[in-house]
Structure 1
Amino acid sequence: MNIKCQGTALITGSASGIGYQLARIFAAENYNLVLVDRDGIKLLDIAADFQKEFGISVINIIKDLSIPTSPQEIFTELQQAGVKVDILVNNAGFGNHGLFHETDLNNELEMLQVNLVCLTHLTKLFLREMVKEGNGKILNVSSTAAFQPGPLMAVYFATKAYVLSFSEAIANELEGTGVTVTVLCPGSTTSAFHERTGMAYSKLLKDKKMMDAETVAQIGYDALMRKKTIVIPGFINKLMSKCIRFIPRKIVTKIVRNMQEDK
């Protein structure tokens, strides 16, 4: 155990993208880590690198978070090992692209499980312990997609709207408990996410400069430490999220549809 250890951070979806960068930041800040991902090979490499570079303790939990029993299994495993989680980062998530009546139902049910149900379940399990201790932090990763409907990514946008609303509500409930909740709402970020969803060649993303995952993660980490409730990286993203409320929803939906279509 690192004598300078500030606590333990659990990060889901930590093998790549924003999750990996958040894990790296926490490691550099002398937090021990619990890394959760279904890519066990990547987790092994990351754990070895972080332990060597930062001298921290890393526990790898290889789980497919689309399986409903995964959150309870993670919680039970850590309880049995005597590991207290001080910071929970619900980062894992994925999306798809296409007309809702044509996309794969099983894929979307798994998306709901990962993006929404698993996040809620993990939060419930670890939050109770944090409130008892009177100390803890939760970072939920949402998206600027949370602020409007998303034709061609209808389910994904809806899950992110849930994450934003849920996080704001429990942040209010937790005032005075010593526990804080921060919700990170990044815009388009350089990662493999867009390739997996088929969005890489949409009007929204094609030839556009995106914020890198390292920058987004640092902004999220800083906001978490400052106990901010909502953080939206990037001036344009902040501006757009505020302007949307003054535009009729039907028009906003049409604009989003246009941006998400292929050129």
Structure 2
Amino acid sequence: MVLDLAQPDAVAHLRAALAERGAVAKYLVNNAGFGLLGVATSLDHGEQLAMIDLNVKALTALSLAFADDLVAQQGGLLNVGSLAGFVPGPGMAVYYATKAFVNSFSEALWRELGPKGVAVTVLCPGPVPTGFQARAGVTVSGLQSILTVTAADAAKAGYDALMGRRRMVVPGRLANLVPLFARVLPRRTMIALIASTQIRRLGPGGGL
């Protein structure tokens, strides 16, 4: 069904549609989201708040609304986070922050729902060639190119991790270094590295 998940009544519509079909959710995959490239104070404020509504609010609402069904069915929840969730992201500040929420929220649910028989996994890929890049206004090059995984590989990694009841999965060997660097490098250094990448994307006069 076509549904704008950012609308306040989206979850109710989805639950009603399932009820009409006599269906009960066993697995929930929260994959909807978008990003925007640019300096937060310069980008459209309403569009950035809409990003929070979709990336954070809708994901949270769906996860909570279907939790009882997932427990009853002994199913699973797969939330799509991002490598962006491990570091602050000047140049895509709100997007990176939304993914930090997804990563943190999902890990907490892994602990809360796991003892009740529900598998919870957060999938944290780097760049995945989809329509996301065009919507966000970004191009993938340089270091980010070597962190890229295909949509099929990302999906398989997420599925396998969920079935294996793993808390988190980062597709790609090189991508797995990002969480490590985020832990061991000074925060100021990580922010500078991300900013340098975004400066190249934004070009002269980009604001960073």
TM-score by length of 1: 0.73
Matches within 5 A, 1:1-263: 61-131=1-71, 133=72, 135-200=74-139, 205=144, 210-261=148-199, 262=201
Gaps of 5+ in 1: 1-60
Contact 1:97–1:199 under 8 Å retained in 2: yes
**CA RMSD between the two structures:** 1.6
Shift of 1:71: 1.5
Structure 2 residue matching 1:237: 3-state secondary structure:
coil
Structure 2 residue matching 1:175: 3-state secondary structure:
helix
Contact 1:150–1:157 under 8 Å retained in 2: yes
Contact 2:82–2:125 under 8 Å retained in 1: yes
Structure 1 residue matching 2:8: 3-state secondary structure:
coil
Note the alpha carbon deviations across 1:87-137, whole angstroms, 9 max, x for none.
Answer: 000000000010111001111111111111001001111112222x15110
Match of 2:206 in 1: none
Structure 2 CA distance for partners of 1:209 and 1:115, relative to 1, 3 Å:
closer
Contact 1:150–1:256 under 8 Å retained in 2: yes
Structure 1 residue matching 2:122: 3-state secondary structure:
strand
Contact 1:112–1:159 under 8 Å retained in 2: yes
- Taking the aligned partners of 1:190 and 1:209, their CA distance within structure 2 comes to 11
Contact 1:199–1:260 under 8 Å retained in 2: no
Identity, % of aligned pairs? 39
Shift of 1:208: 5.7
Q: Which portions of structure 1, spanning 4 or more consecutive aligned residues, are displaced by more than 4 angstroms?
A: 201-205
Shift of 1:191: 1.4
Structure 2 CA distance for partners of 1:209 and 1:180, relative to 1, 3 Å:
closer
Question: Which structure is higher in RCO with an 8 Å CA cutoff and minimum separation 6?
Answer: 2
Contact 2:147–2:172 under 8 Å retained in 1: no
- Taking the aligned partners of 1:93 and 1:234, their CA distance within structure 2 comes to 21
Contact 1:171–1:229 under 8 Å retained in 2: yes
Match of 1:58 in 2: none
Structure 2 CA distance for partners of 1:180 and 1:238, relative to 1, 3 Å:
same
- Taking the aligned partners of 1:98 and 1:218, their CA distance within structure 2 comes to 31
- Taking the aligned partners of 2:115 and 2:58, their CA distance within structure 1 comes to 26
Aligned residues: 201
